[in-house]
């Protein structure tokens, strides 16, 4: 990662998740943490190349992400990632509406009472 770059909430990055491959992720931690020199990590949700929409998975089209194919944000795979594992920022950022949906999906991953509209399927 560029040491001068500061990740921000909603930004899409390529990252090294420790398996030797580059993965696309979205930063979901609060900017107080993201921009702090005292915090060495961020919270991210990874994209996958396959899946099915559901309570914790959001299908996103290339026009929304800037990625070449449809992608699936998988909130049940939220994780802590060292900032130095963020490799490069992609040009797109999630909208406020999309980010709210991702945060709600994270809540659904840990809270059985979190709302989910089955008619969205």
The pLDDT tens digits for 12-35 are: 999 999 998 999 999 999 999 999
Length of the chain: 121
Q: Which residues of the chain form beta strands (DSSP E)?
A: 11-16, 22-27, 41-48, 57-60, 71-74, 79-82, 86-93
The pLDDT tens digits for 45-69 are: 999 999 999 999 999 999 999 999 9
Q: What pLDDT is attached to residue 20?
A: 86
CATH 2.30.30.110 is the classification of domain 11-110: yes
Q: Could you report how far apart the first and last alpha carbons of the chain are, in Å?
A: 37
Q: What is the pTM of this model?
A: 0.91
CA gap 115, 101 in Å, rounded? 11
Q: What pLDDT is attached to residue 118?
A: 66
């Amino acid at each position: 990662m560029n040491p001068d770059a500061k990740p921000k909430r909603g930004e899409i990055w390529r990252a090294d998740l420790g398996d030797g491959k580059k993965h696309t992720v979205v930063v979901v931690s609060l900017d107080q943490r993201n921009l702090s020199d005292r915090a060495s990590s961020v919270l991210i949700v990874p994209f996958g190349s396959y899946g099915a929409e559901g309570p914790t998975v959001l299908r996103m089209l290339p026009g929304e992400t800037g990625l070449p194919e449809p992608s699936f944000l998988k909130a049940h795979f939220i994780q802590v990632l060292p900032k130095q594992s963020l490799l490069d920022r992609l040009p797109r950022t999630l909208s406020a509406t999309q980010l709210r949906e991702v945060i709600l999906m994270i809540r659904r991953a840990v809270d059985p009472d979190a709302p989910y509209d089955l008619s969205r399927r």
